[in-house]
């Protein structure tokens, strides 16, 4: 009987991991074509300073429109792209596309604030990363003070001494650095004060149950306080309710989330930039 169970269990896990392995192989091949076949596109989600309500920028978020599989979200393919190295091409495509779009909006006289781009840890650690970013920004004509890079804690955790010179070089060009999903991966706060960064993005998992959850409230207040002490801007991600807006407004923390807007396609973002934004607050 035990043997029977064991075999069933084995069969169950085995077929599940086979499915996952097949998906991996599919993605691995399909991802290589995604860039060259123009299957990737960006959406943009606005970010706000709540007092007085004002757009400060937008985050560029990648999507993959596959001809057979339909729309694929980044949580499903970015980790695979990091493993198989296609993140390098994809990352360059994101940077190019966002910088050119930003420049086009500026040329149209629109106030975009900063365009914020997600950078995967493996991308940041690539020895060519810095040169590539600077080359793309130059080529696009986007003034670098309109560019922000979002890095996760995993980009600094292991070898902060290697990350710091890169961060300095980016900030010398007036590119802003934000730590994304802040609070989810920290092993040591002691080097946070040594990191040349500008902004902490409070992870959505701490925001979700605000303002009712007392523990999350304490964590979020601690992060905002830490930001204030270290002279870093703070922004909350995943703001969905009016009560959350009130909370962050009082805490003098910027906000981004479905309450204001979902990520928008280029045309919808264009329309948004042309509308009086403060009325949405």
Binding mask 115-144 for Mg ion (x = CB under 5 A): ---x--------------------------
CB nearer Mg ion, residue 30 or residue 95: 95
150 lies in the site for Mg ion, by CB under 5 A: yes
Looking at the Cβ atoms of 44 and 105, the one nearer to ligand C2E is 44
74 binds, among Mg ion, ligand C2E, none (CB under 5 to 8 A by kind): ligand C2E
Residue with Cβ nearer Mg ion (32 or 125): 125
Q: Measured from the CB atom, is 113 or 257 closer to ligand C2E?
A: 257
Smallest separation, CB 201 to ligand C2E (Å) = 7
In 3-state terms, what secondary structure has residue 240? Answer: coil
181 part of the interface to Mg ion, by CB under 5 A: yes
Both tokens assigned to 153? 């804690």
Distances (CA, A) of 165 to 68, 75, 130, 211, 245: 43, 29, 10, 39, 36
Element (H, E) at 243: helix 242-250
Nearest distance, CB of residue 233 and ligand C2E, angstroms: 16
Distance CA 2, CA 53 (A): 64
Query: In angstroms, rounded to a whole number, what is the distance separating the alpha carbons of residues 212 and 217?
Result: 8
**Angstrom distances, CA of residue 276 to CA of 4, 111, 215, 240, 281:** 66, 11, 37, 21, 10
- Point out which residues bind ligand C2E (CB under 6 A): 45, 61-62, 73-75, 78, 94, 118-120, 150, 180-181, 204, 237-240, 257-258, 263
Q: Is 203 buried (19+), middle (13-18) or exposed (0-12) by CB count in 10 A? A: buried
> Residues in contact with Mg ion, total (CB under 5 A)?
5
Residues 6+ apart with CB under 8 A from 164: 194, 195, 196
Minimum distance, C-beta of residue 234 to Mg ion, in the bound complex (Å):
13
For the segment 220-249, give every residue that binds Mg ion (CB under 5 A). 237
Tokens of 179: 């730590």
Residue number, 30 or 179, with CB nearest to ligand C2E: 179
Shortest Cβ 57–ligand C2E spacing (Å)? 13
Q: Would you say 30 or 99 has its CB closer to Mg ion?
A: 99
Read off the DSSP letter of residue 258: T
Instruction: State the distance between the two ends of the chain, measured CA to CA, in whole angstroms.
Output: 63
What SS3 state is found at 52? coil
Min dist. Cβ of residue 104 to ligand C2E (A): 18
Choosing from 49, 153, 180, 254, the residue that interacts with Mg ion (CB under 5 A) is 180
**Binding partner of 177, given Mg ion, ligand C2E, none, CB within 5-8 angstroms per partner class:** none
Chain residues binding Mg ion by CB under 5 A are: 118, 150, 180-181, 237
């Amino acid at each position: 009987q035990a043997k029977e169970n064991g075999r069933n269990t084995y069969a169950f896990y085995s077929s599940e991991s086979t499915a996952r392995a097949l998906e991996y192989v599919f993605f691995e091949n399909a991802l290589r074509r995604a860039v060259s076949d123009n299957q990737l596109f960006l959406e943009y989600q606005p970010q706000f300073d709540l007092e007085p309500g004002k757009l400060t920028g937008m985050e560029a978020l990648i999507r993959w429109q596959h001809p057979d599989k339909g729309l694929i979200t980044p949580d499903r393919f970015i980790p695979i792209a990091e493993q198989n190295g296609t993140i390098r091409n994809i990352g360059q495509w994101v940077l190019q596309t966002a910088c050119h779009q930003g420049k086009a909006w500026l040329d149209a006289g629109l106030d975009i604030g900063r365009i914020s781009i997600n950078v995967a840890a493996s991308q940041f650690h690539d020895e060519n990363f810095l040169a590539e970013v600077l080359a793309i920004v130059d080529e696009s004509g986007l003034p670098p003070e309109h560019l922000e890079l979002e890095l996760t804690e995993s980009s600094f955790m292991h070898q902060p001494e290697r990350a710091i010179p890169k961060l300095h070089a980016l900030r010398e060009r007036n590119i802003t650095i934000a730590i994304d999903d802040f609070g989810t991966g920290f092993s040591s706060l002691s080097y946070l004060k040594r990191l040349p960064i500008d902004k902490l993005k409070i992870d959505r998992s701490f925001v979700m149950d605000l303002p009712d959850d007392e523990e999350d409230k304490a964590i979020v207040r601690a992060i905002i306080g830490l930001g204030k002490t270290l002279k870093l801007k703070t922004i909350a991600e995943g703001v969905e309710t009016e009560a959350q807006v009130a909370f962050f407004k009082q805490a003098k923390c910027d906000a981004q989330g479905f309450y204001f807007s979902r990520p928008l396609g280029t045309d919808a973002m264009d329309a948004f930039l042309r509308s009086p934004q403060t009325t949405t607050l």
